[in-house]
Each structure stands twice: as structure tokens, then as C-alpha cells.
Amino acid sequence: MTAHPITSWTHGGADALGVPRVDFSTNSNACGPCPQALAAVQAADATLYPDPLYTALRQRLAAFHRVAPERVVLAGSASEFIFRITAWAWQQGVRRVQLPAHHYGDNARATQAWGLQPAADGAGALVWACEPSSPLGQAHRPWCLDAAHTVVLDRAYAPLRLSGAPSLSDAQLDRVWQLFTPNKALGLTGVRAAYVIAPAGASTREQGHIEAAVANLNLIAPSWPLGAHGVALLQAWVMPEVQAWLLACLPTLRDWKARQIDMLQDLGWTCLPSEANFFCAQPPQPLELSALRAEYGIKLRDCASFGLPGWVRLGVLGPQAQELLACGLQENKLIPAQLENSQ
């Protein structure tokens, strides 16, 4: 029997076994949750509908990014917007899509749902980019920034960049749709909320096209894409004290990342370079992820769904979690005996 698509979703975090004891499978900020953002979410009044136009929230986000409020599009989550803008692209006659070599599964799911065909180049296509990328945490390439196509840049991990620099200048960023999901950076992934900054038109004609696109994207959105808790999260996101907390997290995450990579390399793993708070690694021999999850409560993110079979993605966690991972790998005989005996 063919499985219903919902049974084939692959994601990090909680699963059929519940919440992992130690969860390396998500890219959430391990220093979180952000105290100020958590307090704001907990104080949200869930007895009332939000403003259906989200007037104050759009203004705050626009001021934070120094853009006009009309360029702000709200979304229930990154996944929700991925499907929405794919539907919009289909309405506009777009029939081709360009995906990164390794990408988030919902990009491919939306592509399949709407029947878009892979494009060798970006011309006339819906083009997806993510930087730092997932699962690799690396720079996106190549870029297609002419006006012949629609580029959507997922910037979920930009606030968690630990090294390197963005590939695009501010002027270049103004030419793409920028998708933000602050819940990862704030360590509150259970609160679903996202927003998009629409491009700035380079001409009156292009500006008119973008304004029409924003209007259509809002038209095909469900009523109240954000509930009270999502609104509270995004309002907190732009607070100076929240941004200061995030900035203070980065040195700690850098230290933890270096320690985590050293630990895995000592156990014979190969770790790929990454600029974010996560990275991909390959064990010295095939790894039984299900055994590690069931017996030790430790979850890693299988990268097969990203097109990297045999590799796993690990979010950066603190020293205690890293020690539990090392113990689980060794006790379950998941590293070669000669390496285990040398520890």
C-alpha cells in the first residue's frame, strides 16, 4: 500500500516516540529560549483575535528592516509561505522551479504539489535560495538576480551565522523575497510565525508588479495566518533587548560548535564546513539512528531527505548534551572498537 504523503515527512524535533532526551536534529538556538521572547509569548492574550491586518506588527517589522510596511507579508510559518508563493507563481504562469542541490523538503513538496518542472537556469522560474543553507550551513550558489524570475531567499539561519559573511549586499537583497522565521534564533520553534520582505522595484513598472504580487499573496492567505502567540513572538523579535540577547549568544555557540566538531572528529567522523549553528557530519561506519533514538533518546537529523545519504545534520548543543552523545555512540558500539579503546 502506498503511504499517504503525511507519513513520509522527515523533520527534526519530536516524533512518534515523543520529545527526544537530547535533540541534535533541529537548528534551534541551544542558548534559548530567549527570556524576553518567552515572556512575551506567555503573556499573549489568546482570548482575542489579532488585528486581521496586523497593522502594528507590520509597522514594527518594517521599521526594524527600514522598509515600507507595504513590503511586509506575514505567514503562518516558512513552510506555509513556501506553499503559498508556489501557488501564486503557478497563478502567474510559472511552470519551472530551480532548487538548491540540497534543500528543505517543503520546497520539493510544494514543487510536486503544483507540478512545477526543474529548471536548468533561473529564467522564468521560481528560484529558491537559503543562506546559510540547510543542511550544509554554507553560502548559496549560484545566484540568479535578474528580473526574469522570482527569487525567494530563506534567511532563517542568518541570525545564527557564526562565521563568514552574507553573499548579497543590501542592494542585492532588495531584489529578492526575503523569508524570516525568528523562532529558531529565539529557541522557540514551537511557536509558528514568519514574515517576508518583498523586493523593492527598480522601476515604476517593476514596483507595480511587486505591489500586485503582495496583494495576491495576501489574498490567497488564510484569515489570521498568525495567532496571538505568533504575533507576540514577532513583536518581541524586533525589541532591542532581544536582539542584544541573540548577539550575546553567538560567542557561546561558536565555542560549543568547535567543541562538538572536535569531539566527533576524535571519534573518526568527517565534518563539513558550516557558517551556522549546525553542520553535516558522516560517521566512520553506518549509523543506526533508530537505535540511538530508541535506546538513548538521542536524535540526529538524517540527511537522506536532503540528498545526502549516509550523512547527518547536527545542531550545536552544549557540553552536557555532547557528552551524552559521545557516550551513546561508544556504548552502542557505533564507532570502531580501535577508536573507542583509544579514548
What is the pLDDT confidence band of residue 11, given thresholds at 50, 70 and 90?
Answer: low
Q: Which residue has the cell 511557536?
A: 191
pLDDT value at residue 204: 84
| Average of per-residue pLDDT across 128-157 | 91
Q: Assess contact for 177 and 197: CB atoms under 8 A.
A: yes
Rounded CA gap, 3 and 276, in Å?
34
Q: Determine which of 60-64, 139-143, 266-270 has the lowest per-residue pLDDT on average.
A: 139-143
CA distance 79 to 104: 9
Judging by beta carbons within 10 Å of its beta carbon (0-12, 13-18, 19+), is residue 232 exposed, middle or buried? buried
Judged by average pLDDT, the poorest of 42-51, 64-73, 111-120 is 111-120
Question: For residue 1, what pLDDT band results from cuts at 50, 70 and 90?
Answer: very low
CA dist list (Å): 73 to 67, 180, 242: 12, 10, 22
Position 230 confidence tier, pLDDT thresholds 50, 70, 90: very high
- Could you count the other beta carbons within 10 Å of the beta carbon of residue 319? 12
Indicate the burial class of 200 (C-beta count within 10 angstroms; 0-12, 13-18, 19 or more): middle
Q: Residue 320: exposed, middle, or buried by beta-carbon count in 10 A (0-12, 13-18, 19+)?
A: exposed
Cell numbers found for residue 301: 537529523
Q: Which of 2-6, 134-138, 319-323 has the lowest mean pLDDT?
A: 2-6
Q: How far is Cα of residue 339 from the mean position of the Cα atoms in its chain?
A: 34
Average pLDDT over residues 81-106: 92
* Separation between Cα atoms, residue 330 and residue 340, nearest integer Å: 6
Give the relative orientation of helices 319-331 and 289-296 as an angle to the nearest 10 degrees.
110
Examine the pLDDT at 337 and tell me if it is beyond 70.
no
Residue 232's nearest CA partner among 188, 277, 282, 201 is 188
Kindly report the backbone phi and psi dihedral angles of residue 60, in degrees, each rounded to the nearest multiple of 5, phi listed first: -65, -45
Assigned C-alpha cell, 308: 545526502
Between CA 21 and CA 293 the distance in angstroms is 9
Backbone phi and psi for residue 111, each to the nearest 5 degrees, phi listed first? -60, -45
In contact, 176 and 143? CB cutoff 8 Å: no
Amino acid 191: pLDDT: 97
Helix/strand/coil percent split, the chain, to 5: 40, 15, 45
**19: Cβ contacts below 8 Å, ≥ 6 apart:** 13
**Is residue 342's pLDDT more than 50?**
no
Give the three cell numbers for residue 78: 516558512
CA distance 293 to 297: 5
Residue 333: pLDDT band with limits 50, 70, 90:
low
For residue 132, cis peptide bond before it (omega within 30 degrees of 0):
yes
* Over residues 253-270, mean pLDDT: 97
In the 8-state DSSP scheme, what is residue 15? B
Which of 155 and 201 is assigned the larger pLDDT? Answer: 155
Give me the mean pLDDT over the 260-270 stretch. 97
Q: What cell does 318 get?
A: 552544549
Best CA proximity match to 230, nearest among 183, 274, 298: 183
Comparing 30-39, 73-82, 103-112, 244-253, the range with the smallest average pLDDT is: 103-112
Gap between the Cα atoms of 236 and 39, Å rounded: 9
Check residue 340 and give its pLDDT.
Answer: 36
Q: Which three cell numbers stand for residue 138?
A: 554554507
**What's the confidence (pLDDT) of residue 336?**
40
- Tell whether the model's pLDDT for residue 310 goes beyond 90: yes
> Is the predicted pLDDT of residue 87 greater than 50, yes or no?
yes
- The two beta strands, 312-315 and 301-302, are antiparallel
Distance in angstroms (rounded) separating the CA atoms of residues 53 and 152: 23
Q: Who has greater pLDDT, 101 or 202?
A: 101
Per-residue pLDDT band for 9 (boundaries 50, 70, 90) equals low
